[in-house]
Homo-oligomer: A and B are copies of this chain.
Amino acid sequence: MDFSELFDFLKLDSTSAKGKGKEAGKFLRDKLLELKADVMEIPENPNPYVIGKINVGGKRTLVVYNHYDVQPAEELDKWDSNPFDPVTKGDRIYARGVADDKGTLLARLQAVRDMIKEGTLRTNVIFFYEGEEEIGSPNMKKFLEKHAEVIKGDFLLWEGAGRASNNSPQIVLGVKGLLYVEIRFKTAKDLHSMYAPIADNPVWRMTSFLNELKKDEKVNLTGFYSKVRRISEEQKKSLLKLDKGKMEEALGQSIPNDFPVKLVEEPTCNIAGIFGGYTGQGSKTVIPSYCFVKMDFRLVPDMSPEEVLETLKPLAEKWGGEVVVYGMEEPFRTSPTSFFAKAVRESALRAYATEPVIWPNSPGTGPMAAVAKYTGITEIADGVGVDSYDSNIHSFNENIRKDDYQIIINQMKYLVKLLE
């Protein structure tokens, strides 16, 4: 297998948190132009939406969503190789973004390119590429409001969901919602810590806030759990086939037995970053004048990020915190009995010769709900992805299995065929 095209793509640092991504966007536009697709570049933001339509006069249209941006590669010293200089080692390829989401993006494109060359493409395909997924898709709503027309179709294939922890392929029929905030606490100036008996320390206010926010492992916001939609016993059964030992190995820690059910059903309140005062070597006796905490809340159907924000704000303000919102997404689920959900399941069964695990929703987030609302597409599924449970997504040494790249090209061909 020749990975040179993939490696070229991986070498382009497209970290959206740092405003990078222009080069990767251009790379994709050129690839779509080569396919003679109808290409649009919609520069609503620093990293443009890139859209390529291939109309073969088919009965149905599949929209293929992927993102070309990546998470920051920090901390760099933890990587065994340069995150933007892909390498093959053993059965794996290592690079930032190879699993999330550049590998999947390019394998799918390759499948459609093959079908065009072979003259077997009978389903219309719209490639829909975003460059800001990793920062919470801040411009997705604006894009959809203005341009939803250009991505109208019958089905939407989400960014990719590869192997589960029992090595089966997995299909994901929804996403969790998200509320990402930074909460800041301040005073006028740094002070010598001898003034601690009389001076306000904003870090203590922050930790008091955090403690009031989460009590006994539960989120202490009014109504936080009241709208959680539970999954069926049958859905639980499929999920509980997953391999707990492998998941523990991948995470490097022990987890509860009902881990997949928790991943699907449980809303979260996570501290992603915390900072204040002197964080260099050794000691400095200071009362910091500034601190912040970065938090993400993952929300399940039928919760709403706006509602969570409304209950969060007064609690933060009670402790003198200022809430800055970095991202909001609604949660979403597609029915497992829909035509598209069934076709994705069938394509996985053929490509892997294994029954896929079906997730009612991902433990992760994406703008499925917004896409559904503006395009009217109600059948949205994730699957057909080169990543796996041990891909170290968002962490160091991100990787995929080399062989999965070809499997995904095959699966994509089956799926496109099934949708004719």
Contacts and interface: CB of A to CB of B under 8 A. Distances in A.
Interface of A: 17-18, 71-72, 74, 134-136, 176, 178, 180, 182, 187-201, 203-204, 207-208, 210-211, 214, 251-253, 255-256, 259, 262-263, 265-266, 268-288, 291-292, 294, 296, 298, 326-327, 362-365, 392-396
Contacts of A281: 17-18
A298 B192 CA distance: 12
A310 B215 CA distance: 27
Contacts of A275: 274-276, 279
Instruction: Give this chain's copy count.
Output: 2
B193 A270 contact: yes
A191 B279 contact: no
A203 B395 contact: no
Contacts of A274: 203, 274-277, 279, 291
B194 A252 contact: no
Nearest to A72: B284
A207 B256 CA distance: 22
Contacts of A136: 283
6 contacts: A192-B395, A193-B394, A196-B296, A197-B265, A200-B253, A207-B210
Nearest to A297: B196
Nearest to A209: B207
A192 B391 CA distance: 11
A341 to B, nearest CB: 21
Given A17-B281, A208-B211, A284-B71, A195 B252 contact: no
B252 A189 contact: yes
Given A17-B282, A281-B18, A283-B327, A199 B253 contact: yes
Given A188-B252, A207-B207, A198 B259 contact: yes
B17 A193 contact: no
Contacts of A72: 278, 280, 284
The 5 closest A-B pairs by CB, nearest first: A188-B252, A196-B268, A197-B266, A273-B277, A194-B363
Contacts of A280: 17, 72, 74
A365 B176 CA distance: 51
Given A207-B210, A298-B193, A363-B195, A270 B256 contact: no
Contacts of A271: 201, 203-204, 207, 276-277, 288
Nearest to A269: B196
Contacts of A214: 204
Given A274-B276, A277-B272, A394 B288 contact: no
B272 A278 contact: yes
Contact of A193 (B191, B272, B287, B392): B272
B255 A199 contact: yes
A208 B182 CA distance: 20
Given A18-B281, A272-B278, 10 more contacts: A74-B280, A193-B272, A194-B362, A196-B298, A198-B256, A198-B263, A201-B270, A270-B287, A283-B326, A284-B294
Question: Chain B CB within 10 Å — which of A18, A191, A392 has the most?
Answer: A191
A97 B135 CA distance: 45
Contacts of A282: 17, 135, 326
A332 to B, nearest CB: 15
B288 A193 contact: no
A268 B18 CA distance: 40
